[in-house]
Every structure is written in structure tokens, then in C-alpha cells.
Structure 1
Amino acid sequence: MSDNKVQIFDTTLRDGEQVPGCKLNTEQKLIIAERLDLLGVDVIEAGFPVSSPGDFNSVTEITKIIRNSTVCGLTRAVENDIKVAAEALKYAVRPRIHTGIGTSESHIKHKFNTTPEKIIERGVAAVKYAKSFVEDVEFYAEDAGRTDNEYLARVCEAMVAAGATVLNIPDTTGYCLPEEYGAKIKYLRENVKGIHNVTLSCHCHNDLGLATANSIAGVVNGARQIECTINGIGERAGNTALEEVVMILKQHPYLDLHTDINTKLLYNTSKMVSENMGMFVQPNKAIVGSNAFAHSSGIHQDGVIKNRETYEIIDPEEVGVTESAIVLTARSGRAALAYRAKKVGYELTKLQLDDVYKEFLNYADRKKEVVDQDIHKIMESFDIKP
């Protein structure tokens, strides 16, 4: 793998499905898994096999249909979890077990009531046991974002020695600032023996709205895997949004980093996940929101009509959106009205446009949005034929 490639680890079917009310059945999971494989994700985290018979079955069925992506099952640092995950992954062409344990002072004291040394021992035992089933073992240091860097480096070094192939550095609570998270990744790159033989992974949550920024800071500082979900769904305020990090890397070539994602499938994939999970995508959501390429301000509309790049840094077609939307409102100008009128068959002279625009503003003041049917009515009132 090129050192410039960032692997995309999609956890829509695991972390994403933990959102209240977003439970998927096996059939829905298979549909989404197939799309993720087609999209080009490197790893599909298919579920948490020990959590329920249904999840075990879903992971097993997903492994039977996925031929390109690695299929991953989550576990705690518990032997039975790992054994059950290995059983669920037995049909996978490329299986991965994702195991781990909390490493922050809060987790060690309050969640596990143990010592830092015991945490390392449990992590090492889990990695070694997982390694007896599969070659590809990812270790997560839960709450790494709030874990002391020196101790986190000791944990990571022990997991590398035990056979881990990927080290996941989660900002579990979404607490880190991008500079802090990037510095943490850099510290590990510089202070963990054997770190260059494994992949460092970013798993960031969005509690403070920083998941995407933290993930980008991570890969800029040497991580080469981003764990994310379609539409940024996930626990609490959600996870890093796949579509955001992929397009950031694509739109900033000077970072010299890339993914293998087929970006033209992003919009339809977003819709598929939204419909299956019943999880509404906010209109102003970056990349895939309904307003992401919509313009209603007259100044913006005029600029986009003259040259799309005036106000759009992404060509909508790159993410599977047909074209930019010029939305007619009371803030729209003559250029936008002429553009939309032409779309529905009317070539207006300057004098006609001046007259029609006054009537258009009357419509626009009464309605939130002037639609094509309204344009036809306005034209009819002036006896203008298409």
C-alpha cells in the first residue's frame, strides 16, 4: 500500500447503528454492506458479533458477499468476545478482529477498577488470542484522546510486540482539539518502537463538532486509516463523516494523501443509509445535504451562473449530484430568474425580464420559494410563450 493512501474504515454498520432508533435488520445491513464494498471502502466494520444472535448472523452473512473490503468484527478484550467474532468472520476473504480496552485514567479507575499495568496485560492477552484466529488484528485504546501520551505510547508498543497490525487511537468523547489530536499521533509515531510496521488509525467522535478536523489532523501527522460513517451517524453527536474526510483529501492535493473511494457514489450512498436507518440528513450537511449545492442569494446565484467555481469548491458531479440548484426566493436577482426561466423554456429579453422580475418579487414575498409552476403562471400573466 502506498504511504500516501489513507484507508477508509467504515463503521456505519457498527458504531453508526448504535444511534437510538437506527436498528437495521440483516437484509438492510447486506444492502448497505454491498454498497460500501462498491464505494471502495477498505474496511467494513460489520458489527459486534457477541452482542446478540442477530448481530452475529448479520456479520456472518456480510462476510459471504464481500469480496473486496476487509470485514471486521468488534470485541472487548474478552476471550469469549474474540472467539465469537472469529466464528462470525470464518467466511471472510479478508477478516479482521478489532479488540481493545480503555486506557484513560478515568476508564482505568472507574470503569475497570484496576491498574495501568493490568490494562496493558489484558490488552496484550487479547491481541495474542485474536492473532491465533486471524492475521489482521486491530487494537483500540478506548478514550485515547484523554490518555496521557507517555502511557499511551507504552500501551501501543506492547500491542505492536503482541502482533497488532493496526493501532486505533480513538477520541472517544470528542474532547480533543485538532492540534492536540495531531500532536498525539505525531508523538506516537516518534516514540513507539515498531510503529512504522503498523497502521495508525483515527476514530473521532463529534461531541464538539471536531471529528472531521481531528481525523484530518491525524492523517496529516502520520495516521493512515480514518474510521468514519456515512452521514457522520454514530453515538451521541456522531462520528467522523466519511464523505467529508474523503472530499477534503480530494480537494486538497497538496496534502499528497488520497483514498480509493468512488466519490460519485457518495450522494446516493448517503440517501440509501438515511432511508434505511430513518435518520434525517440535515439540509446544510456538508457534501450530501440537500442545500450543499443550492444557492438562493442573488449575489451568489449570479456568480455561480457565470462561473460555478465562484462559490463552489466542489463540482457537484464529483459526489453524484446532477447539478447546482438555483433556488428562487425574495433574495434572488434577475440573473437567477432568467436562468430558471430558460430552464423551463422561456428566453426573456431585457425588457421582458425587467417587467417579469417585479411580478416575481411579489410571488417571492408571499412564498418561501418560487417553483417552476409559479414561473409558468408569471409568464402567462404577461402572455409570454415558451
Structure 2
Amino acid sequence: MADRLIIFDTTLRDGEQSPGASMRREEKIRIARQLERMKVDVIEAGFAASSNGDFDAIQAIALQIKDSVICSLARANERDIARAAEALKPAGQFRIHTFIATSALHMEKKLRMTPQQVHEQARLAVRFARRFTNDIEFSSEDGSRSDIDFLCRILEVVIAEGATTINIPDTVGYSVPDGYAALIRKIRERVPNSDKAMFSVHCHNDLGMAVANSLAAVKLGGARQIECTVNGLGERAGNTSLEEVVMAVKTRRDYFGLEMSIDTTQIVPTSKLVSQTTGFVVQPNKAVVGANAFAHASGIHQDGVLKARDTYEIMRAEDVGWSANKIVLGKLSGRSAFKQRLQELSVALDSEAEINNAFERFKELADRKAEIFDEDILSILSQEEHGVLDHETYRFISLSQHSETGKRPPAKVVFAIDGSETVGEAHGNGPVDATLHAIESRVNSGAELILYSVNAITTGTQAQGEVTVRLSKAGRIVNGVGTDLDIVAASAKAYIAALNKLRSNVERLNPQCS
């Protein structure tokens, strides 16, 4: 294993802890399938003991994913570990990931436990987990700020009890590359049985060094597993970015000398799926997956690339999944061509009914838009997912609005509440403001709008607008996503989608609030 790097993806667990990124069961399954398609080694599917919804999602993923190891997080207690084991039981390969805080600050202020109590609880937790599997990961929460002597003692005992992967998290993103790598190296040198376990790193990006810290720990510290998320999704400033560490190791194989199992051509499709599912837009200048990642505006750069790509490109766009031929279908395209394109995009729909519904939405869009891009198709499928709730209280029907310079615009929105059509009317500071106030005039949700974001799915004036609305109410934070050629209509759809999530019993509390 010395020359192989394990990619542990925690998008479905730690990534979901971003406020508003909570995903439903069907959305988690779809992302897990795409992670398997990308050949991720370990998929942390959730935190089984945190909610019944998370338990059900982990169990469903465990049933369907065959090629990746499925993992559940569990606190270092028997209840959490048993719950994780039960959810993971259907999996062909599974891992229990148990953790406890080891820094003096966390032990005193959060756990209210002595170091000896933490030491004993960690030991007993790993021993208990061994009843269910031989694949056990132990994490020392806030490990980068823990006393190294205590850390070495606790790691020695958990390895002796059967932990096969040891994770040293930089939980609050406090580390710097040299210091973090030195910590991992010292631990491996000082723990007598360190050779019995693989060492893993899990870094947060609070100071913008998550990727640098992770790679330094691999190159200089001897870690052989990186825990990361797609698009760097995660609470606060996010986690280590999967696409960045993967392409750094692949592009600089001369420096790292490591192999990975990842199919890099699936990186961009996976990034788009996660972005559209969670409503967290990828910034244009984001490394690897940003819209500008392979764009060249400078005349000097353009001239160089035209003469020889490697003058300014250290990676090929197609190697990470960017398509050179983006226009794929039009209004004359038939169902077979549409189905074939879904296969080329690595999209798997469960039934003919789902394909038919998606095709119907494609034809509706094609009647309004001359050229259909891959991103449009993925958006259609994402909207299918966003529309799946046990019961939709609200359903968008139509709107009308009028804007004139110097006057407050009026808006009228027609929508259904529990199947009964209603009309909301209001004025606002702009067409979007008026539209959302019109909806609220009939709903009176009391929710606070904490984010409104607009993103063009493709280029040009005919591009679909994708709107993300984030609402907060009574400790719940939810995202609603809506797409339409009319940005005001997209805004209404997004707002109504968020309201439905607030009303849904399926949508669980945001993980940070539970």
C-alpha cells in the first residue's frame, strides 16, 4: 500500500453539514452512484445514529453500491456503533468510523471528560466495533491541537484493539503544511504499533490550506488516505477538495509517486451533480471544476495554447470530464437519442417512467431553447430529484410581472396550496422581490431568506437561469433550486421548492443544529 493513495469521500456526511446542504435519500443515492462510477475507494454515506433519515439513506446506499467501501460515522459509544453496523449490514464491504475528541479544549469544554476517561472510551469503542467488522477507522477529533504524548497513547491502544485506519483531523483548519506533516510523521514514529494501521488525514479549509495540509501529510508525513469532499463542500469554509487533491497527485506523479483508483473523467460530472443537488454553486475560478479552469483570456496565453497546449495547460480539460462538444440535442431529437445521451453522461435512471418524465421535460425545454447542452440535461434531472417529496404542499403554476424604470414593479403568482389554486399579488423593489412577496402574501411562512443566488447553466442569452434560495426557520436551513429561461420564474420555483422542504417531514434538521 506504500505507493497507493486511498480517496475517502465524505460529501454525503461532512459535506452535508454545510448549512442548507442537507440531502434527501434519493439525492444521496444518486450521488453515491456517481462516486462509485468515479471509483472512489471509500464513501462515507452518513452518520447513522444522527437521524432515521440518515440511517435509511446509508442502508439504501449499502444495498446498491458494490464497488466502493461504504462507511458510517459513529461516536465512540455502543449505541452509535451498533446503529452504524445495522445500517451498513447490506453492504458487500463496509467500514465503521468511530471518533472522540482528544484535545484538552474539547475534552474539558465539550465532552467534560478527563483524558483517562477519553482513553478508556476510545479503547472500548474500537473493541465493540470489532464485533461487526475488521475494517475500523478511529478519528481523534481536533487531533491537530491535541497533546502529542496523549495522542500517541490513545492511538497505540486503539490500534491494539483493532483499528485499521487512524485519522488525525485538522478539525478547525488551524494547521499549516509543515507543522501538520511533522505531526503525522512524529506520531507514526512514536506509536510502537503504527505499522499495523493506515494513517489518514481530514482537513478543513478555514485558513485556505486544507488541500496543502493534506498533500503535505501524504508526501512528508506518510499518510496514505485523504478524506475529502466534492467541490470542497463542508461546514464553515469547507473540506479538502477531492478534485484538487486527485489532480495534484495525478499531474505531479513525478513528485508524489502515488497511484489512485479514481476515474478522473468523472470529476466534472460529479461536481455538477453535487452542485445542482445542494444548490452550492461552483465559483468560476475554482481549480479543476470551475467554468474558467481551462479558459484563456490573455492574448499571450491564447497564442501559446494554440501553438502547444502544454505552454499554459498542465492538465487536459477532457481528462477531468469537460466535454469539447457540448451541443448534443435539439427539439427534433427523439427519445432514443435522449436516452443514449443519458448513458454518455453516466446518468442512471431507475425506471422507464423516470426516463419518460425526464424526456417530456427535455422536449418542453427544447421547444423554448434552440440548443440543448449537457448542463441543461443535468439540470432537468436535478429538478426531477428536487421535485420528489412525499407531499408537495405548494406547486408553481404561472406568474406575471411588469417592470418599469422608476416605479415599484407589481407581480402576480398563481400557485397551488394542497391542490387548490391561489393567487398572490405584491409590489417590490424589483421583479424578483415582488414575486417572492407575492408568494409570501398567501403563505405567510415566517421564514428568513438568507441566500439568493443566480447562476447561468450555460452560456448566451438563451441560457437557463438556475436560482438557489436558502431559507431559515426555527433552526432549520433548507435550499430550494429552480431553473427556467425566465430568471423571475426560476426564482419563484426555487422559493416554492424551499417552502416545500420546510413543510416536509422527510427533510431532516440541518446536521449542525441536531
User: Which 5+ residue runs of structure 1 have no aligned equivalent?
Assistant: 326-370, 374-386
Which residue in 2 is equivalent to 1:229? 229
> In the alignment, what sits opposite 2:120?
121
Question: Per the alignment, in what secondary structure is the counterpart of residue 294 of structure 1?
Answer: coil
In 1, Cα distance between equivalents of 2:94 and 2:314: 38
- Deviation at residue 322 of structure 1 after TM alignment: 2.9
Q: Secondary structure at the match of 1:250?
A: helix
Shift of 1:139: 0.4
Query: What amino acid sits opposite 1:259 in the alignment?
Result: M
CA distance in 2, matches of 1:130, 1:55: 19
Code of the aligned partner of 2:209: L
Opposite residue 241 of structure 2, the aligned amino acid is A
In structure 2, what is the Cα distance between the partners aligned to 1:308 and 1:118?
Answer: 59
State the one-letter code of the partner of 2:281.
Answer: F
Aligned-residue offset at 1:76: 0.6
1:85, 1:97 within 8 Å by CA — same for their partners in 2?
yes
Alignment partner, residue 61 of structure 2: 62
Q: Does 1:274 find its partner at 2:272? A: no
Per-residue deviation, 1:372: 9.2
What is the distance in 1 between the residues matched to 2:70 and 2:117? 30
Matched residue, 1:241 = 241
Say yes or no: does 1:73 pair with 2:66. no
Output aligned runs, 1:44-123, within 5 Å: 44-123=43-122
Task: State the alpha-carbon separation in 2 of the partners of residues 372 and 107 from structure 1.
Answer: 51
In the alignment, what sits opposite 2:401?
none
Give, in whole Å, the separation in 2 of the partners of 1:16 and 1:218.
Answer: 21
Q: Would you say the 8 A contact 1:103–1:152 is kept in 2?
A: yes
> In the TM superposition, what are the counterparts of 1:131-280 in structure 2 within 5 Å?
131-220=130-219, 221-254=221-254, 255-280=256-281
Report the residue type matching 1:271 in the other structure. Answer: K
1:309 is paired with a residue whose SS is: helix
Counterparts of 2:280 and 2:62 in 1: how far apart (Å)? Answer: 25
Instruction: Determine the C-alpha separation between the residues in 2 that align with 1:288 and 1:238.
Output: 16
Distance 2:16 2:321 in 1: 24
2:294 aligns to what?
293
Whether the aligned pair in 2 keeps the contact of 1:97 and 1:138 (CA below 8 Å) is: yes
**What does the per-residue CA deviation read over 1:311-342, in whole Å, with 9 as the maximum and x for residues that have no partner?**
111111110113599xxxxxxxxxxxxxxxxx
Contact 1:74 1:99 in 2 (8 A): yes
Q: After the TM superposition, which parts of structure 1 deviate over 4 Å for at least 4 consecutive aligned residues? A: none
Instruction: Provide, for residues 196-227 of structure 1, a one-character-per-residue CA deviation record: whole Å limited to 9, x for no partner.
Output: 11110000000000000011011112111000
In 2, distance between residues paired with 1:171 and 1:62? 28
The separation in 2 between residues aligned to 1:322 and 1:57, in whole angstroms, is 35
Q: Is the 8 A contact 1:6 1:258 kept in 2?
A: yes
RMSD, matched Cα: 1.5
Cα distance between partner residues in 2 of 1:278 and 1:121: 42
Question: How high is the TM-score relative to the length of structure 1?
Answer: 0.83
Matched residue, 2:311: 310
Q: Match of 1:190, SS? A: helix
Partner SS, residue 200 of structure 2: strand
Separation in 2, partners of 1:298, 1:305: 11
Q: Gaps (5+ residues) in structure 2?
A: 327-458, 462-514
Which residue identity is paired with 2:297?
S
CA distance, structure 2, for counterparts of residue 372 and residue 284 of structure 1 = 19
Aligned residue pairs: how many? 327
CA distance in 1, matches of 2:171, 2:294: 32
| Whole-angstrom distance in 2 between the partners of 1:27 and 1:307 | 44
Deviation at 1:25, TM superposition (A): 0.8
Q: Provide, for residues 37-85 of structure 1, a one-character-per-residue CA deviation record: whole Å limited to 9, x for no partner.
A: 1101110000001111110000000000111111000011121111111
**CA distance in 2 between partners of 1:311 and 1:322 (Å):** 19
Matched residue SS, 1:300: helix
Moved more, 143-152 or 233-242: 143-152
Within 2, Cα distance between the matches of 1:148 and 1:258? 33
Superposed CA offset, 1:222-278 (max 9, x none): 111000000000011000000000111111112211211000110111001111111
Paired letter, 2:138 = F
Q: Distance in 1 between matches of 2:139 and 2:270?
A: 27
Separation (CA, whole Å) in 1 of partners of 2:21 and 2:36: 21
**Alignment-mate amino acid for residue 6 of structure 1:** L
Structure 1 window deviating more from structure 2 (152-161 vs 223-232): it is 152-161
Matches within 5 A, 1:24-43: 24-43=23-42
Aligned residues with identical type, % of pairs: 52
SS in 2 for 1:98: strand
Higher helix share: 1
Report the TM-score when normalising by structure 2: 0.62
Q: 1:283 to 1:117 in 2, by over 3 A?
A: same
CA contact (8 A) 1:13 1:45 kept: yes
Structure number having the greater strand percentage? 2
* Alpha-carbon distance in 1 for matches of 2:259, 2:325: 25
2:245 is aligned with what amino acid?
V
Counterpart contact for 1:316–1:324, Cα < 8 Å = no
SS at match of 2:75: coil
